[in-house]
Amino acid sequence: MPTDETSAPELLATGSSRATGAIGPGGLSALESARTGVWINIHADPHNGGLGTGVPIVVADTISNLLALLDSATEHGHRLTVLLSPPWTQYLLENAWDRSQLVWRLKAGGHLLGFHHHDVSHTGGTGWDGYHSLSQADCMSGTVGGQSYSHTYAECDGSMTWTAAGFILSLDTVEEAYAEFSELMNLLFETHEVDSGPYERGFAGSQGPADSIRNQEWQGGVVYSQVGVETLPVPVQCTSADYGGQRVLELGSMRLAVGNRNGTLIEPDDLVVELEKAVAAGVSGQYFGVSFHAWEYRATSRDTNLYPNDDEAIDKMFDALVNAVGLQAKPMQELMGDEDALLGCLPLTASASFP
């Protein structure tokens, strides 16, 4: 292990972004992967509970789960996409040692980082992250997808702060949250001389489930959108709907049944079975996206004899994907084929830095 940040090895390039398919009328088409593949994204979320009433995740206590998860993924040859919410971004900017430990693992495994924002409609267990670019009225109350949300004036006007992992997290605009993420990424580029390969076509990101809010808050530098789905496999969609007019690649992923078991989930062993079927059938152009939270990689008791603990369930899934299915998880950019079609959806200039 490195003893300080400057001794951490450089990050590995993970290959350029590639996709297949043509953009159809209205800017919407399915971009199919060249073969069956699996994409695993990890949500480093802001809260254990809602803003104001919930308990912020203490990143200093939770980052060990993420580091251990990345170690396990790297051991099995899986390359993950880790989506950082604002508290995680701020913590990594302020803590050089833990930042170096993350960088070491990103380099060792070829994993990617992405921006992650929970908008005001997140009122459940993982909560709003406190940043918004809405009017005061739209921030304080509204209904999205049949679900109502409400926040106080102080929560919405930017004057409220809360302590997370020993520092103050100011509540401000989504633009400022993204600027801090960009600062972190540029720090990684400059300090560790990161090869621009995995970043030159954009960055995996997620900004919440509410289309009307997302339309107002979507950041121009985020060109991949992770959205929740209830069935697998799912297509990759190129769309500009509900993204402020910007074309993005919309990536579907299903929640893995570990940790917080709310909503539509897929058990780790069921994911393996579905992938086995797809591979055995010789199906091409399908991908299976799954997501779970960084803190869920821990020895939490499960109600199944097959996988006694969540971390063990994930480890066994990692092993089975390689040894039973013959697949290793890859960043979404590598599950796609022809670069020209991707650039038709995402006309970005190659760059080693963020906006």
Structural domain includes residue 95:
yes
Q: What is the pLDDT of residue 222?
A: 76
Spell out, as residue ranges, where the chain has pLDDT lower than 70.
1-35, 47-57, 123-126, 158-171, 192-210, 221, 235, 285, 301-307, 333, 336-355
- What is the pLDDT, as a whole number, of residue 52? 41
Counts for the chain of helices (H) and strands (E), in that order: 10, 14
- Domain membership flag for residue 353: no
pLDDT number for residue 295: 86
Measured N-to-C along each axis, helices 59-75 and 86-94 cross at an angle, to the nearest 10 degrees, of: 90
Q: What is the pLDDT of residue 36?
A: 74
Inside any domain, residue 324: yes
Task: Give the pLDDT of residue 90.
Answer: 87
In a domain, 340, yes or no: yes
Exposed / middle / buried, residue 43 (Cβ in 10 Å: 0-12, 13-18, 19+): buried
Task: Give dist(CA 6, CA 211) in Å, integer.
Answer: 41
End-to-end CA distance of the chain: 32
Query: Is 352 part of a structural domain of the chain?
Result: no
Q: Domain tally for the chain? A: 1
> How confident is the model at residue 296, as a pLDDT?
87
pLDDT computed for residue 321 by the predictor: 95
User: Residue 182 maps to which CATH number?
Assistant: 3.20.20
- 198 occurs within a structural domain: yes
Predicted pLDDT of residue 283: 72
Q: Give the CB-side neighbour count of residue 22, counting CA atoms within 13 A.
A: 2
Indicate whether 19 belongs to any domain.
yes
Angle between helices 310-320 and 268-280 (to 10 degrees): 10
Q: Which two tokens stand for residue 78?
A: 């899986």
DSSP structure class, residue 301: B
Q: Render 43-87 in DSSP notation, one character per residue.
A: EE-SBSS-TTTS-B--HHHHHHHHHHHHHHHHHTT---EEEEPHH
Residue 344: in which H helix or E strand, if any? helix 339-345
Please count the residues of the chain.
Answer: 355
Give the separation between CA 39 and CA 195, rounded to whole angstroms.
Answer: 22
Count Cα atoms within 13 angstroms, Cβ side, for 289. 23
Contact between 228 and 237 under an 8 Å Cβ cutoff? The reply is: no
Give the other-Cβ count within 10 Å of 123's Cβ. Answer: 20
Q: How far apart are CA 51 and CA 146, in angstroms?
A: 20
Q: Is residue 223 part of a domain?
A: yes
Q: What is the pLDDT of residues 242-263, one digit of tens each?
A: 888 888 888 888 999 887 777 7
Structural domain harbouring 157: 5-345
**Would you state the pLDDT for residue 192?**
64
Residue 297 neighbours by CB under 8 Å, 6+ apart: 65, 66, 68, 69, 72, 258, 310, 311, 314
Residue 2 has, within 13 A of its CA and on its CB side, a CA count of 20
Q: Supply 217's token pair.
A: 């808050």
Q: What is the pLDDT of residue 303?
A: 62
Candidates 245, 116, 230, 225; CA nearest to 174 is: 116
